[in-house]
Structure 1
Amino acid sequence: MIKNLRVDHRLLHGQVAFSWSSFLGADCILLASDSLLNDELRLTTVKIARPPGIKLVIKTIDDSVKAINSGVTDKYKLFIVTDTIEGASILARQCNIKNINLGGTKSATNKKKLSRAVYATDDEVELLKELCKEGIKLNIQMIPSEPEINGQSVLNNL
């Protein structure tokens, strides 16, 4: 059962590893990233950050979609974390996930600020708007104890 799909450019760190995992009751974290497997330093770092007692799986976006759709992940309380908005959109659309948690994306001069930790390019903003039109709920929330911000409302006010 998929507990949450989160976008967080840092992938696995304290907020994700401990706050979110325990809040969700997750027993498996799937890091869905096309760049992580090619970055030995980041790969080592996320493996060290794995909370005890929680299975950690690292796959590309396409391999994540295949695993989820095959049913092999059904036995887990699965927490999916991806590092890009595009990756989240692929997972949501191809795996019929109806909610995306925007937790953190890097700031840059070509990005709009959606919240204190979420930034998006014009193309990403359009992609998020498309997801909303498709019935996918977006929420912005760094940690579970913070109030959820309705992502669609934020996008409507840009």
Structure 2
Amino acid sequence: MPNIVATRIDNRLIHGQVATQWAGVVGANLLLVANDAVAKDQFRQGLMNMAAPAYAQTRYFDIDKTIKVIDKASPAQKIFLILETPQDALRLVEGGVPIKVLNIGNMHMHEGKRQVATSVAVDDDDVATFKKLQDLGVTLEIQRTPNTAKEDVSKLFS
């Protein structure tokens, strides 16, 4: 079983807040971005590597590769799994990745989405995906930073 210390949706993926606050608080030494587009985008990976903390390694895998290899991770790897969308999370869970708690961070507002929490905007597909994740036993949490209060997840479904 992989040592996943945290799983977070943050559409900015690895950036200052993730690197300076979340990674240290959860005790991660490996930041694993699981996303099909980013796995192919060397430029974005380079930018995220610049933001990543020096004490942690980074990996950029597509969803299928993550499902295939995460069980091979060493127990010494304390994995912070960083995702762009709830749909990525659902694919991982359905593929057998043991995500127990999903921290929902930044999901930016854009056309077709509605703001439901301080930094979370969703559309109907996101809401349906979150419901499926809950049905699969995943606990959902909305929290911007480790030092801010968790917001009410029922807002996701309103």
Structure-2-length-normalised TM-score: 0.90
Aligned to 1:36: 38
C-alpha displacement of 1:50 = 1.5
Aligned to 1:146: 148
Distance 1:155 1:133 in 2: 15
3-state DSSP of counterpart to 1:149: coil
- Contact 1:28/1:76, CA 8 A, preserved across alignment: yes
Aligned to 2:18: 16
C-alpha displacement of 1:40 = 3.5
3-state DSSP of counterpart to 2:36: coil
Distance 1:124 1:32 in 2: 17
Alpha-carbon deviations, 1:62-84, whole Å to 9, x = none? 11111113x32433111000111
Residue identity over aligned pairs, in percent, reads 30
Pairs aligned (count): 155
Distance 1:59 1:121 in 2: 26
Distance 1:40 1:29 in 2: 16
- Contact 1:99/1:138, CA 8 A, preserved across alignment: yes
- Contact 1:92/1:98, CA 8 A, preserved across alignment: no
- Contact 1:138/1:150, CA 8 A, preserved across alignment: no
- Contact 2:15/2:48, CA 8 A, preserved across alignment: yes
- Contact 2:33/2:60, CA 8 A, preserved across alignment: yes
3-state DSSP of counterpart to 2:117: coil
3-state DSSP of counterpart to 1:114: strand
Q: After the TM superposition, which of the residue ranges 89-98 and 16-25 deviates more from structure 2? A: 89-98
CA root-mean-square deviation:
1.5
Residue 10 of structure 1 aligns with an amino acid whose one-letter code is: R
- Contact 2:122/2:156, CA 8 A, preserved across alignment: no
Aligned to 2:156: 155
**Would you say 1:127 and 2:129 are equivalent positions?**
yes
Distance 1:51 1:87 in 2: 24
- Contact 1:101/1:141, CA 8 A, preserved across alignment: yes
Among 74, 91, 100, which residue is 1:98 paired with?
Answer: 100
Aligned to 1:50: 52
- Contact 2:141/2:150, CA 8 A, preserved across alignment: yes
**Would you say 1:83 and 2:84 are equivalent positions?**
yes
Among 53, 64, 67, which residue is 1:65 paired with?
Answer: 67
Residue 7 of structure 1 aligns with an amino acid whose one-letter code is: I
Structure-1-length-normalised TM-score: 0.90
User: Which 5+ residue runs of structure 2 have no aligned equivalent?
Assistant: none
Q: After the TM superposition, which of the residue ranges 60-69 and 78-87 deviates more from structure 2? A: 60-69
User: Which 5+ residue runs of structure 1 have no aligned equivalent?
Assistant: none
